[in-house]
Structure 1
């Protein structure tokens, strides 16, 4: 199997109808809008948060908000895609930098990719669940994540490529579960145990 990281399309098959700003100032405003929307979705749920509240939280005029995002659905989809694409790009970076036998570094990078930005992960779960095509979209994105995780395993431990696909499935489930387990009292000890498990899968030990 090839060890090159798979490519992915930046454009989803589900059109958000959002307007992508061309200027840096506009991109920064959109980022503030998306951050505010994510925080409100966590606090009130996708249905409970209003566009008016999102505009106020982000310091954006309501007219400007609707210019960038004609509907709350378009905003939600853009927010979801931002997280998915960011995580996919992170995996591509890990794969590009992976070297045979570099198991410890890759373990830390993979675990960090899932433990970082936990709030974003939480509202992404809400956004995906709210979609009418949640099952289909979720599977498509999981397949992209899995392909990248397997590519990382193949580069890091090329002598065990025959088990990379199976290890990748288990590893992806462990990584997805990690943010829910590494929380509260004793989280350091829990993270240490998860790291051992991830290392064993990366190194094919």
Structure 2
């Protein structure tokens, strides 16, 4: 997965000699580093993860790792920002491709987004909990998610635009709960019931 240049601009503030990748090969290497780091964080915890193990797991020379990420904290920050950035972009795509009355398509997109990428969600939750400013950052990101969900609700059912803010709060909580309830293939019935709730909220029924 490709990480945005803006993310590297923010990360570079951790240390002036951090070098963002300019070529596709470098971006692919960074993606491998981030994926490996996520797995190490889940297995060893934030404090137990080491730069040496992250380098080994990603098949990266330790010098190259430090060139892209000068600290373990910079990796953690990039992982969090990558997850949030990708989810916000996905919400924007759903909104851009879903018109009035297309509740089924909107429900499918939202359910897939919140139930997919479980590994990333696991380490994102872990890394967020380890931040001293977790409460503040969580509120900021949740507000950005909510604004997009409200926009989607207003778009798929314009006559119920006035109730979109309230429905958006409920819908976001339902989506947040979904991964805790749907944990495997045997939970198809539960996923179906959740989808019905999502559809009712989208259609303002």
**TM-score of the superposition, structure 2-length normalised?**
0.91
For 1:55 and 1:169, the matched residues in 2 are separated by 41
Q: Deviations over 1:16-60 (max 9, x none)?
A: 225321100000000000000011111111111111000000000
For 1:29 and 1:184, the matched residues in 2 are separated by 31
Q: CA deviation at 1:11?
A: 4.6
| Counterpart mapping for 1:3-82 below 5 A | 11=6, 15-17=10-12, 19-82=19-82
Contact 1:16 1:73 in 2 (8 A): no
For 2:185 and 2:154, the matched residues in 1 are separated by 35
For 1:114 and 1:185, the matched residues in 2 are separated by 15
Q: Which residue of 1 aligns with 2:168?
A: 168
| Counterpart mapping for 1:1-205 below 5 A | 11=6, 15-17=10-12, 19-184=19-184, 186-205=186-205
Q: Deviations over 1:38-89 (max 9, x none)?
A: 1111111111111100000000000000000000000100011000000000
Aligned length: 196
For 1:151 and 1:125, the matched residues in 2 are separated by 26
Q: CA deviation at 1:193?
A: 0.7
Decide whether aligned partners of structure 1 residues 10 and 142 sit closer, same or farther in structure 2, where only a CA change above 3 A counts: farther
For 1:138 and 1:19, the matched residues in 2 are separated by 28
For 1:15 and 1:30, the matched residues in 2 are separated by 15
Larger relative contact order (Cα-Cα within 8 Å, sequence gap ≥ 6): 1
Contact 1:10 1:85 in 2 (8 A): no
Decide whether aligned partners of structure 1 residues 62 and 135 sit closer, same or farther in structure 2, where only a CA change above 3 A counts: same
CA RMSD of aligned residues (A): 1.7
Decide whether aligned partners of structure 1 residues 19 and 132 sit closer, same or farther in structure 2, where only a CA change above 3 A counts: farther
Consecutive unaligned residues of structure 2, counting only runs of 5 or more, are: 13-17
For 2:44 and 2:89, the matched residues in 1 are separated by 29
Consecutive unaligned residues of structure 1, counting only runs of 5 or more, are: 1-8
Contact 1:107 1:202 in 2 (8 A): yes
Structure 2 residue matching 1:41: 3-state secondary structure: helix
